[in-house]
Amino acid sequence: MPRFNHSALVIAALTTTIAALSFPVWSYADRSGTGVSNTAAGTVNTQWGPLTASDRSLIVRVRLAGLWEAPAGEKAMAKSSSATVKAAADHLLVGHSDLDERVRKVAAQLNVELPNQPNEAQQGFLAQMDAAQGKEFDRVWSSLLRKAHGTIFPDVATIRNQTQNSLVRQLATDTNQTVLDHITMLEKTGAVDFDAIANGTI
């Protein structure tokens, strides 16, 4: 009898040890923040093709662009005396009005939640514009917007190349056309501070 109890105790101890060692393995693999499961969780199937996390990010960024660039266009119309700045501002207002309508339609179709106000950095850009006057306003306005458009331009092209979702692909096409038009108009102002953009001081 004592021998049986001892054997049972050893078996119970071994079983407990194996279970304890096994638990971290399956529990870790099941966590959503690890490895392959995290990558797969970012993609959902839609009737227009797979929708990835990068696709959703583009949709949100296009919406955010309009939320601060349209008000920026209005500021230029009110504050600048430069005809070329006002012409660029007109392109921003028209372009983002059209693009915002398109992105809201795409977001509704793909069930992507959109922001309704500019992010903190974009609010800071608008505040810089509010604080500037005269020629300095034109420089700050043109440079901040040129930098923003130059930053998003290659990102949109990358999504356009990689996405398998036809709605996102068309949105990326429309966005790149709008961004290139805005870059062209901003550079025509003659007020873009390319040194400040290159040095990261604006």
Q: What is the CATH number of the domain that holds 101?
A: 1.20.1260.10
State the virtual CA torsion across 130, 135, 140, 141 in degrees, nearest 10.
Answer: 70
Q: Which domain holds residue 139?
A: 51-199
Confidence of residue 38 (pLDDT cuts 50, 70, 90): very low
- pLDDT tens, 79-121? 999 999 999 999 999 999 999 999 999 999 999 999 999 999 9
Give residue 73's pLDDT. Answer: 98
Confidence of residue 19 (pLDDT cuts 50, 70, 90): very low
Domain assignment present for residue 97? The answer is yes
Domain assignment present for residue 1? The answer is no
Domain assignment present for residue 79? The answer is yes
Q: Is 51 helix (H, G, I), strand (E, B) or coil?
A: strand
- Total domains in the chain come to 1
Closest C-alpha among 60, 76, 66, 156 to residue 113: 60
Domain assignment present for residue 27? The answer is no
Domain assignment present for residue 115? The answer is yes
Average pLDDT over residues 152-170: 97
Q: CA-to-CA distance for 156 and 169, rounded, in angstroms? A: 10
